[in-house]
Homo-oligomer: A and B are copies of this chain.
Amino acid sequence: MVPVDDDALAAGWHELMGRYQRLTCALDRELQAGHGLSASEFEVLQQLSHAPDHSLRMSELAESAHVSQSALSRLVSRLEVDGLLQRSACTQDRRSLFVELTALGVTRYDEARPTQRRVLREDTQQAGGCLQRE
* Chain A interface residues toward B at CB < 8 A: 4-6, 8-23, 43, 46, 66, 116-117, 120-121, 124, 130-134
* Contact residues in B for A19 (Cβ distance below 8 Å): 16
Whether the Cβ atoms of A131 and B12 lie closer than 8 Å is yes
Number of identical monomers bound together in the oligomeric complex: 2
Partner of A20 from the list B10, B16, B46 (CB cut-off 8 Å) is B16
Whether the Cβ atoms of B66 and A6 lie closer than 8 Å is no
Whether the Cβ atoms of B43 and A132 lie closer than 8 Å is no
Tell me the bound Cα distance from A43 to B10 in angstroms.
Answer: 10
Shortest distance in angstroms between A38's beta carbon and chain B's nearest beta carbon? Answer: 13
Tell me the bound Cα distance from A10 to B120 in angstroms.
Answer: 7
* Contact (A66, B21) CB under 8 Å given A9-B132, A12-B131, A16-B16: yes
Whether the Cβ atoms of B117 and A18 lie closer than 8 Å is no
Q: Pull 22 A–B residue pairs with CB atoms less than 8 Å apart, ordered by A.
A: A5-B132, A6-B117, A6-B121, A8-B132, A8-B133, A9-B117, A9-B120, A9-B121, A9-B124, A9-B131, A10-B116, A10-B117, A10-B120, A11-B133, A12-B130, A12-B132, A13-B23, A13-B120, A14-B66, A16-B16, A16-B131, A21-B66
